[in-house]
Amino acid sequence: MATLEDGSLTVDDLIAWMVRFDEQIVEHAELLTELDSAIGDADHGTNMARGTAAVRLRLEQGRPDDAGAVLKASGMALVSTVGGASGSLYGTLFLEMAKRVGTASELDTADFADALGAGVAGVVARGRAEPGDKTMIDALYPTVEVLTSAAAGGAPLTESLRSAAAAAAAGRDATIPLVARKGRASYLGDRSADHLDPGATSAAILVQALADSQTERDR
């Protein structure tokens, strides 16, 4: 049996993550939309908030039995409500993670790092974006790297997630000077520089939400 010290993510932890993700997206929806109005179509905050609300609703309607089912239900809810590139890309992230974890009931740091890595690889393949293209990948890539090395070093789960959240935030901030090469922002060319990327910002929120919900659980 896993204990708190073992540091595994249970089904309940994953659900708590999604609830916290929704709360933080709602809290930052205006910021996300404002960022998107600078280089996109000014709907990222409202789209994501619609999506995370649908995720919560779906998880409340029927508690999934295993980790894969939580991630799959979340991904499908996002696909069908967010719309646009974010819906497909966040959907791909969760669905690829779900495939990787299968029917596991708990994920340790290494399992989670591995699953997130598979999810991010799916997003890279779908969106054909590389690090440095000013997308959500810029926040997610460093997250996977930090989690993978934390898992290899045997760091406790919550501590690893906090380091990952810091890495995601640094990756997000590093998008400011970049010129967008993917999505509608790429139509702006050089004018997309000097703006924080909305997708990297919501992706950093996703990682922060997990660090926060686990920190809270450990208390």
Partner 1 sequence: MIGLVIVSHSPQLAEAAVELALEMVHGEAPPMRVAAGVDGRFGTDAAAVATAIDEVAGEPGVLVITDLGSAVLSAGLALELRESSTEVLVSAGPFVEGITAGVVLAATGAPLEDVAREVAGALDAKRDQLEPLPEAPAQASGDPLSADEVLINPEGLHTRPAAMFVQTAGRYDALVDVTNLTTGTGPVTAKSMIGLLSLGAKQGHRIELNGHGPDAASAVSALRGLLADGFGEVPSASAAT
Contact residues for partner 1 (CB under 8 A)?
47, 50, 76, 79-85, 87-89, 91-92, 95, 125-128, 130, 181, 183-184, 189
**Residue 91: both structure tokens together:** 């959907």
Q: How far is the CB of 191 from partner 1 (least distance, A)?
A: 14
Radius of gyration (C-alpha) of the chain in whole angstroms: 16
Judged by beta carbon, residue 87 or residue 171, the one nearer partner 1 is 87
Tell me, what DSSP letter sits at residue 106?
Answer: E
Judged by beta carbon, residue 99 or residue 217, the one nearer partner 1 is 99
Q: How far is the CB of 73 from partner 1 (least distance, A)?
A: 12
111-150 as b/e: b if 16+ CB within 10 A? bbbbbbbbbbebbbeebebeeebbbbbbbbbbbbbbbbeb
Q: How far is the CB of 79 from partner 1 (least distance, A)?
A: 5
| Cα 81 to Cα 57: distance, rounded to the nearest angstrom | 12
Judged by beta carbon, residue 186 or residue 215, the one nearer partner 1 is 186
Judged by beta carbon, residue 28 or residue 134, the one nearer partner 1 is 134
Q: How far is the CB of 50 from partner 1 (least distance, A)?
A: 8
| Cα 156 to Cα 175: distance, rounded to the nearest angstrom | 29
Cβ atoms of 109 and 101 closer than 8 Å: no
